[in-house]
Structure 1
Amino acid sequence: MVATASAQAGEQGWSSRTAFILAAVGAAVGLGNIWRFPTLAGENGGGAFVLVYLVCVLLIGLPLMLSEFVVGRAGQSDAIGSVQRVADESRVSRRWSIFGGIEILAGFLILSFYSVVAGWVLYYIWLSGGDFFGNLFAGEALRGAFSDLGQDAVSGMMGDLFASPGRLILVHALFMTATIAIVASGVHDGIEKAATWLMPAFFFLLLGITIYGAFTGDFGRAVTFMFTPDFSKLTAPVMNEALGQAFFSLSLASGALITYGAYVARDVNLAPTAATISLADTAVALIAGLMIFPIVFAVGLDPSVGPALIFQSLPVAFQTMPGGSLIGLLFFVLIFFAALTSSISLLEGPTAWAIDRFGLRRPAAAVMLGLGAFVIGIACALGYNVWADVRPLGFWDIFADADILDTIDGFTGKLMLPLAGLLMSIFVGWKADRRLVEVQTGLSGGLFVLWRFLVAWLCPIAVALILLFGLFPQLLG
């Protein structure tokens, strides 16, 4: 008997391999690539971090991504149903589906705060758009962004946003509404069409702004910073950060990839497809660094300022650059496209589960779960003002100083995602039927043996380290 999500896959799944690649790249490419990767590279010395990150993507991220696609296509259902079906065919306990449940819950919780952060992007699009069109109508379209404001005022725009609960909730609501509308429209008519339009536009903007930065910024210094390893900075914490970024940037263990894998046609070869998606995602992260760091270096900003780099430092940089008002607007539109394609995948996993488990119609499932994530997101937004003193897990040392959003972010990132990834690698590497898995991967001979070795041995060790050092950071020294 074919599950509900499987039926959807047959009736309105991906229309082609290209559509699947665009949707999966959209799931992987998000704020983690455009915001988190440059932030971590800047904080951890550039080249050494990038080198370890690339090795981890190849040896850990790619094998795990292929594993999730394998489970999804073999199971032809949501994350839980797919694991159960593979477990049945492998004659092992259905209890292994617990990691599918963790993935779905993690994706739902991530969506709740992800939408809040993406709302900040919408706010900056509004500010940048007003600035650009104001300059355009004044006949000064090539002025720098926010050139009438001082640097303190530009840097303080985010503080103004955080101080306004109404604004935070409004932009959060707008972003969540867009996400719900796309997922409610279906796999083909919603998710695939969105990816087909948004991802090419995203890559066009990414390359365009990178070329702009190469000519107006300090491109040579950016290349040196990113691709000349300083091995004196290759400490244990840096290596762990790179390992974690490789794991998280590919959207692993959030329920999205298993669910997307269930919609893949049987004639699609998963191994080269997963390689293409991983390569595209990694390329986006590297190009994002080459887009941001030339601008940062050109105006004398500190690349190690951390999360403030995107929302506070770069708007200051756009102040002084030719055409800065237009580039600032396009920059935040670019981030919006990346955030939206990822949020769609985060909602699709829980939605597919609700359809399978409760027999709900897709629009009802998407609206119900989207509203649930929205409500949790309101608490995250209020954590910056009305509930600024609330520390949900203040009794736990690693969350003692974390506000509501950072608590959910930390709990999912440090515990739920690594735990689900660990269980998944053990399940695929040790428990799933070898012949079933081999047929799904499309690999054979030495390549299959290598992949199976990486999934069964290296990946569990690496993900266990992410879990261990995330919960006990003092072990890193």
Structure 2
Amino acid sequence: MALTQSGSGRDGWSSRTAFILAAIGSAVGLGNLVRFPAEAGANGGGAFVLFYILCIVLIGLPVLLSETLIGRHGQAAAPESFRKVAEQSGKSTAWEHVASLGVLSAFLVLAFYCVLGGWVLYYVGVFAGDLFTTGISGGAFSDMTVAEVEGLFPAMISNGTMTVMLNLVFLAVTVFFVSRGVSGGIEKVAVYLMPAFFVLLLGITIYGLFGGQMGRTLAYLFTFEPERLTGPVMLAAVGQAFFSLSLGVAGMVTYGAYVGRNVNLAGTSAIIAAADTAVALLAGLCIFPIVFAAGLAADGGLGLMFTTLPHAFQEIPGGSLLGLGFFVMVGFAALTSSVALMEVPTAWVSERFRFARPVAAGIVTFSAAVLGALSALSMGVLSGFHPLGFLPMFEGMGVLDTLDTLTGKITMPIGALLTSVFIGWVANKRLVDSENGLDGGLHLFWRFLVCWLCPIALTLILIVGIFPGVLGD
């Protein structure tokens, strides 16, 4: 039986497990698999990891619970859920615009995230083709030079036709699941793909334990160097914790609306945050043994995934099969995240304009395809187009980088900041207490975090994102 609210008649998760897997799939994405390991290794190892986990507990988890309880109480698309909570608290319904900003953020992220998903599909195809032609013996791309392997990525992103088509394919897969509803589509992709993702992640990590340089990886990621934990590094950990859980895009407000009253939101949110953190830690143990075994530098960013790792797979036995498994795993993570991102504006369009779900999903997909095409082409023929280049923080940025910066440094932090203010200072306390699943000392501690620590930390993220030099080097 679906976990819908009694008498609501809305589609919902078929079980608590389904909700947890879907929420984990929403949070786990490219940031966990690439950004966290690189940030940890470059910013103090174990000290950074410890502070990051602290930030997850003290900042990420309280906001995650706040978003989920708003959705569960409202039982509607994110803006309507905010409006209901505000109305029942005797406050201005203008607070619904916080969620509207989240809906916009989710749409903008979807538009460029599916471009990255298309890049992952390209590498799945490349490794599958190499495995078919050369088999599993030896390294990947045995008939190619190192320069040719490293040149795959720039050649791909400069091919406008290819990147646009890959983006459309990834969008098509995403909308297929979203258009089928919560229990019939979104839940299915989570229930089947997330376990498969974890199996692949653990499998590749075990390979690294025996076939890679795990000792060097452990030293790189977990050597405790507190002297390197400076102000900017600590703020980087705060930001990583915030972005890792995909906060500020109204995703958990939307997913929370499909959760029944019999689910304890506090305990469930803790499981989601713990799983997301575990994936981030395992990602480092999965990737860097392979990179180090190939004698390569652990560079961060997209270059690690799309340039360094293909080169690394070229240098190790069974590289074609391992590379295929890795990019299939990344594809699963990207798909569960893109489904969650598309669900946010789709639910809003469907409820706001009373469109059938397939129609609403189609409208969102078409709009995202247009903006996504501009993002895909911004690495090639539109590389000279800088839509917000007249603003200092967007100077020289193409469409994709502009969307990434706009959402990551402005709209998402604002959304999360206002959400914590709304729950901590605006919403009726009894209403919040009835939803959060906490009592006693834990409840008082959570309220302190939401009222004080989270707004301060998120304000710092916002200020540093807009004025990056404010904390110095």
TM range (shorter): over 0.9
Structure 1 vs Structure 2: percent identity of aligned residues? Answer: 52
Residue deviations 1:6-50, cap 9 Å, x none?
899744200110010000000001111112222323443433322
Quick check: 1:43–1:304 contact (8 Å CA) kept in 2? no
Amino acid paired to 1:231: P
Corresponding residue number in structure 2 for 1:112: 111
Residue deviations 1:208-256, cap 9 Å, x none?
0000111111101111221122123212222121111100110111111
Kindly indicate whether residue 68 of structure 2 is the aligned counterpart of residue 73 of structure 1. Answer: no
Selected match of 1:430 from 409, 415, 425? 425
Cα distance in 2 between the residues matched to 1:142 and 1:369: 44
Corresponding residue number in structure 1 for 2:101: 102
Stretches of 4+ aligned residues off by more than 2 angstroms? 5-12, 38-49, 304-307
Cα distance in 1 between the residues matched to 2:327 and 2:7: 34
Larger mean Cα displacement after TM superposition, 447-456 or 224-233: 224-233
Quick check: 2:5–2:261 contact (8 Å CA) kept in 1? no
Corresponding residue number in structure 1 for 2:323: 328
Corresponding residue number in structure 1 for 2:240: 245
Cα distance in 2 between the residues matched to 1:39 and 1:439: 40
Aligned to 2:469, the other structure's residue is in SS state helix
Kindly indicate whether residue 395 of structure 2 is the aligned counterpart of residue 396 of structure 1. Answer: no
Corresponding residue number in structure 2 for 1:15: 14
Mapping for residues 79-94 of structure 1, pairs under 5 Å = 79-94=78-93
Residue deviations 1:276-302, cap 9 Å, x none?
000000000000010011112222211
Selected match of 1:172 from 167, 174, 195? 167
Cα distance in 2 between the residues matched to 1:406 and 1:309: 18
For structure 2, the 5+ residue unaligned runs are none
Kindly indicate whether residue 151 of structure 2 is the aligned counterpart of residue 156 of structure 1. Answer: yes
Amino acid paired to 1:300: G
Cα distance in 1 between the residues matched to 2:108 and 2:7: 25
Quick check: 2:37–2:221 contact (8 Å CA) kept in 1? no
Residue deviations 1:143-186, cap 9 Å, x none?
21112211111111001101210110111010000001100001
Corresponding residue number in structure 2 for 1:44: 43
Quick check: 1:40–1:306 contact (8 Å CA) kept in 2? no
Mapping for residues 8-407 of structure 1, pairs under 5 Å = 10-136=9-135, 141-407=136-402
Q: How far is 1:322 from its partner?
A: 1.0
Aligned to 1:144, the other structure's residue is in SS state coil
Amino acid paired to 1:323: G
Residue deviations 1:69-125, cap 9 Å, x none?
110001111110000000011111111111100000000000000000111000000
Q: TM-score, normalised by structure 2?
A: 0.97
Aligned pairs, number: 469
Corresponding residue number in structure 2 for 1:409: 404
Q: TM-score, normalised by structure 1?
A: 0.96
Quick check: 1:165–1:381 contact (8 Å CA) kept in 2? yes
Quick check: 2:44–2:226 contact (8 Å CA) kept in 1? no
Quick check: 1:301–1:313 contact (8 Å CA) kept in 2? yes
C-alpha spacing 1:469/1:8, structure 2 compared with 1 (3 Å): farther
Query: What is the root-mean-square deviation of aligned Cα atoms in Å?
Result: 1.4
C-alpha spacing 1:314/1:413, structure 2 compared with 1 (3 Å): same
C-alpha spacing 1:62/1:305, structure 2 compared with 1 (3 Å): closer
Quick check: 2:413–2:458 contact (8 Å CA) kept in 1? yes
Cα distance in 1 between the residues matched to 2:250 and 2:104: 8
